[in-house]
Structure 1
Amino acid sequence: MNLRPYQQQARESIQAQWEGGVRRTLLVLPTGCGKTIVFSRVTEDRVRMGERVLILAHRGELLDQAADKLAKSTGLGCATEKAEQTSIGSWFRVVVGSVQTMMRDKRLEQFSRDHFDTIIIDEAHHCLSDSYQRVLQYFEGANVLGVTATPDRGDMRNLGSYFESLAFEYTLPKAIKEGYLSPIKAMTIPLSINLSAVGQQAGDFKSQDLGTALDPYLDSIAAEMWKVAKDRKIVVFLPLVKTSQKFTRILNEIGFRAAEVNGDSQDRSEILEDFDNGKYNVLCNSMLLTEGWDCPSVDCVVVLRPTKVRSLYSQMVGRGTRLHPGKTELLLLDFLWHTERHELCHPAHLIAENEEIAQAMTKQIEEAGIPLDLEQVEKQAAEDVIAQREEALAKQLEEMKRRKRALVDPLQFEMSIQAEDLSSYVPAFGWEMAPPSDKQLKTLEKLGILPEAVDNAGKATKLLERLDKRRAEGLTTPKQIRFLEGRGFEHVGTWQFETAKNMIDRIAANGWKLPDGVNPREYRGD
């Protein structure tokens, strides 16, 4: 099975992290981009090196999926650690293990602490829980790979308390652009649902309260769904089994062919198969189908389980992002959730780089009243936010440009080169949060960046990488930016090195005054 280019890149990056001495690293791939295939091939690489590998997950479906993909893509068999099944005495070098089973002292103590050389955690956003940590601490000498579809920096910061690096990240917009996932159109249904009385638990809304809050709106929601999605194949996520069952009845009454599945459904596999084959066109569930279930023909997702947890939101939407013949896009229906808190996940959070852009996108989608392509909305919102931010920073930048300094402030540099990723950077991993090293500070100073304004190692690393890349591409240096912007030129960071050098030479030859006919506000380095 040939890997896609990004999958091969991910595989190589993970191995490079371990070879470089980083023991705990992360892989971030959107749902539907083949994370199981990637970690299967990584597993194969480690087995070829003579290692033993443990693949950990928290649900039986994920373990079965991992074992199946491993066998199909590499030919490797594996033993299982789950309930009464054990790998002890097995000659297989790969074990798929249920964390609920493995965490028990009695089970752990059957293994020596150095039994596994590598541990792979599927759905790694769960791995900070006590059960996972107990297993990871027992085999503390092993290399660890965490695999997750989490798209959010906040989640990444949490994971950064355990993992040391991000080996590879493939973003949802990139996957859509390169044709590996379906485009997403988001639409806000003009139905205001009041969540102000809903309590919180473990950082998210209480399911019980959500079910109660949602109940009065179910008929209206069903009617709105009929208007915009009656011909689509829909998955609906709800907070409670009883709410899911009630909503299924309402949908059937108005003309949908709806079915419901939950943890106690005896005929679950039959219902899923019938839905796959088109007997039903709506499938309702209470958070059962967030992981380990795929139906590529789904072309509409309705999230009636509002959440603040990006990883959970991403998992729900991910049930509809796979490609399928005849499918042109995924329609994602959002609602006007009325809450005093602003941290609720919306479609925008799937691809927005930061909360500012997400809020601008959400407003645009809410006001449109029709489905909008998420990528196009993000592009417009990002441009608007950057323009507003530049305006707000203009005075600050003017002040910086007037300062009698030989070095350029990082903010001025970032704005000049239009590096949104640098100016909005937040450290995620422990090493990134540490102070910059003396070597980093000296190198930054030598390259023309004011080192005192860089307060963490992660930012210093990113700046140095960007400066290296710019030098290789023949773009302007920080010192050129400082000099020319101090004389009124704008966005000198986008110019070529030679263009800036020529302008500085002209100014020098003119007694350090601007040459006649040069308007710095309009000059773009052409």
Structure 2
Amino acid sequence: MQLRPYQNDQLHLLRQGIAAKQYVQMLMSPTGSGKTEVAKAIIAGSQAKGRRAWFVVDSVSLLDQALSRFHQSGLYAGAIQADHPCTDYGKPIQICTVQSLRPRLQHLLAAQPPDLVLIDEAHILYKTHLELIDWCRANRVPVIGLSATPFRRGLGTIFDRLVSCITTAELTEQGYLVPTQCWAPFVPSLKGVGTKANGDWIEDELAEVMGDAQLVGDVVSHWKALGENRKTLVFACNVKHSKRLAEAFFAAGVMAAHIDGYMPPHEVDEILRLYKAGRIKVLVSVAMLIKGFDDPEIACLVLARPTQSLMLHYQMLGRGLRPSPETGKTDCLIIDHAGNLLLNGRPTDTLPDQLDTGEGEPADRRQQAKQDHEQKTKACPHCGFVFSGLQCPKCAHEILLPDGVAVAPGKLAKLDDRRQVLGPTCKQDIYRELLGYARAKGKKEGWAYYAYQAFLKEPPDRAWRSSSLQSKPLTAEMSSWIKGYNIRRAKSHAKYGT
């Protein structure tokens, strides 16, 4: 199998880690970068040496997807998942759901132990994962976690090392991912800039602008104005909100559908088939399509659910970044009604490059202690029967889910044009931050002038260009932007001598 240059670099770095006896490693690689291809190459190498490898996933759909891709490459694997038709413990490659691995783990470790373990979506770890990792560490069996968003609290206490050698910005520059157009709530003034770290200043101001509303602007009308005719995924706040959005699109003459975890699997499969075939233009859900759903033709994402979680945010954004040249897709439109782009960043922004050790500020702004509740069982309030779904199978009582989603009137602004988002006072504060950075690094003050132009696509006010102007400490957002700016300038200088 032919790997891309950065994928070969990832393999090399992982092998270096194993050679250094760092047996439990995390590979951080953006959505759409080909983590499964790297996993296949690692497992093929293991198979060639006559060793057993496990590839652990956390859902049946991901298991079937992995089986298909492995078999297409000539890697014939067995499945550990209930009574799956591919069950064959004798095969040297096993693809397992963590749920089915749990009751079988100790028996398999004793009877047919692995020589290599790969964990997909390794930012989400269950007790079985941890037991398996502990066994592997004790027996010097390499473990490689795969994740685009390894920001969960405490992962640095589980994994010995983070391998990260490619970013979404670099993949976009190299043509492996498509660029984005980003639209976010219009905020006329961000007077709190620089007063707090980790982006909280934006959250405070958005709360003031939005009032009690969770969302700004009408979802359907903005989509019709900006993204009509694009294949679209919409992320909603809850099941009832998702259904309501799908109905609103349908009422506006757009073929739309909703899916959730309460629906029978065959209905979900049929809706996904129609969506992939282009019969459905807009697909709405809460969390079902946030991970493991790959459709390169998706050219528009609508964020109609607020989140402060970097993991959730970047998993959502990753759904639309894959290229699809055969359909003429040249970019992905992101329509954000919840302020997530302002709070958490755009797809190409710099992300944490270290695993969280549980000390200090968490890498992920809000830890998702609660998993999505779509699949949870509950007791019927009418008869007490325990079930999962929206209608009790014993007494037919229907569970009514609250909507609870408020929407404020407002407009979205194109995020690329920061001049529409920032007021005059904030602009001067940005210049003062850049000026402070230049002074601290011993750079000429002209550096701040040109950096400001690059950031806001306009020159700073002449009145600000005075040696008496006081500088300001960097915010987390500006520090992140400067890091990327310096990298781009260095690459430009190396390539063009400018």
TM-score by length of 1: 0.61
Q: Is the 8 A contact 1:219 1:250 kept in 2?
A: no
Cα drift, residue 110 of structure 1: 4.0
Aligned residue type for 1:9: D
Cα drift, residue 387 of structure 1: 6.9
Question: Which digits, 9 at most, give the CA deviation of each residue in 1:179-230, with x for residues without a partner?
Answer: 00010111114499xxxxxxxxxxxxxxxxxxxx999969822222222222
Q: SS of the counterpart of 2:306?
A: coil
Cα drift, residue 95 of structure 1: 0.9
Bigger Rg, which one: 1
Question: Which digits, 9 at most, give the CA deviation of each residue in 1:473-522, with x for residues without a partner?
Answer: 9xxxxxxxxxxxxxxxxxxxx9xxxxxxxxxxxxxxxxxxxxxxxxxxxx
Q: Is the 8 A contact 1:218 1:247 kept in 2?
A: no
Distance 2:3 2:317 in 1: 24
Cα drift, residue 346 of structure 1: 3.6
Q: Is the 8 A contact 1:310 1:345 kept in 2?
A: no
Aligned runs of 1:176-191 on 2, under 5 Å?
Answer: 176-190=172-186
Paired residue for 1:409? none
TM-score by length of 2: 0.64
Paired residue for 1:334? 336
Distance 1:186 1:57 in 2: 32
Q: Is the 8 A contact 2:234 2:284 kept in 1?
A: yes
Change (3 A) 1:169 1:62: farther
Change (3 A) 1:393 1:133: same
Cα drift, residue 235 of structure 1: 0.4
User: Among 203, 226, 229, which residue is 2:227 paired with?
Assistant: 229
Paired residue for 1:131? 128
Is 2:284 the counterpart of 1:284?
A: yes
Change (3 A) 1:386 1:189: closer
Paired residue for 1:351? 349
Paired residue for 2:439? 394
Change (3 A) 1:247 1:88: closer
Distance 2:88 2:64 in 1: 21
Distance 1:172 1:216 in 2: 28
Q: SS of the counterpart of 2:241?
A: helix
Cα drift, residue 293 of structure 1: 1.6
Change (3 A) 1:6 1:190: same
Cα drift, residue 39 of structure 1: 0.5
Is 2:298 the counterpart of 1:298?
A: yes
Q: Is the 8 A contact 2:79 2:88 kept in 1?
A: no
Aligned runs of 1:129-278 on 2, under 5 Å?
Answer: 129-140=126-137, 141=139, 142-150=141-149, 155=151, 158-190=154-186, 220-263=218-261, 264-265=263-264, 266-278=266-278
Q: Which has the higher contact order (CA 8 A, sep 6+)?
A: 2
Aligned residue type for 1:79: G
User: Among 393, 413, 430, which residue is 1:369 paired with?
Assistant: 413
Q: SS of the counterpart of 2:14?
A: helix
> Identity percentage over the alignment?
25
Q: SS of the counterpart of 1:298?
A: coil
Q: SS of the counterpart of 1:348?
A: coil
Question: Which digits, 9 at most, give the CA deviation of each residue in 1:39-95, with x for residues without a partner?
Answer: 01101112222321111111112112222222223x121111112459997331111
How many positions carry a matched residue from both structures?
364
Cα drift, residue 172 of structure 1: 0.3
Is 2:81 the counterpart of 1:82?
A: yes
Q: SS of the counterpart of 1:284?
A: strand
Paired residue for 2:378? none
Q: Is the 8 A contact 1:191 1:336 kept in 2?
A: no
Q: Is the 8 A contact 1:185 1:373 kept in 2?
A: no
Aligned-pair Cα RMSD in Å = 4.1
Aligned runs of 1:318-329 on 2, under 5 Å?
Answer: 318-325=318-325, 326-329=328-331
Q: Is the 8 A contact 2:185 2:412 kept in 1?
A: no
Higher helix share: 1
Q: SS of the counterpart of 1:235?
A: strand
Aligned runs of 1:22-41 on 2, under 5 Å?
Answer: 22-41=22-41
Distance 1:331 1:286 in 2: 19
Distance 1:284 1:190 in 2: 24
Paired residue for 1:45? 45
Aligned residue type for 1:394: R
Gaps of 5+ in 2: 189-210, 353-360, 362-409, 444-473, 485-489
Cα drift, residue 297 of structure 1: 1.1
Distance 1:285 1:269 in 2: 14
Question: Which digits, 9 at most, give the CA deviation of each residue in 1:8-38, with x for residues without a partner?
Answer: 2212221221122110112111111111111
Q: Which moved more, 1:346-355 or 1:302-311?
A: 346-355
Change (3 A) 1:292 1:18: same
Cα drift, residue 236 of structure 1: 0.3
Q: SS of the counterpart of 2:337?
A: strand
Change (3 A) 1:251 1:24: same
Q: Is the 8 A contact 1:113 1:139 kept in 2?
A: no
Is 2:3 the counterpart of 1:3?
A: yes
Change (3 A) 1:180 1:255: same
Is 2:119 the counterpart of 1:121?
A: yes
Paired residue for 1:71? 71
Aligned residue type for 1:236: V
Q: Is the 8 A contact 1:25 1:167 kept in 2?
A: yes
Gaps of 5+ in 1: 193-212, 356-365, 399-414, 426-472, 474-493, 495-525
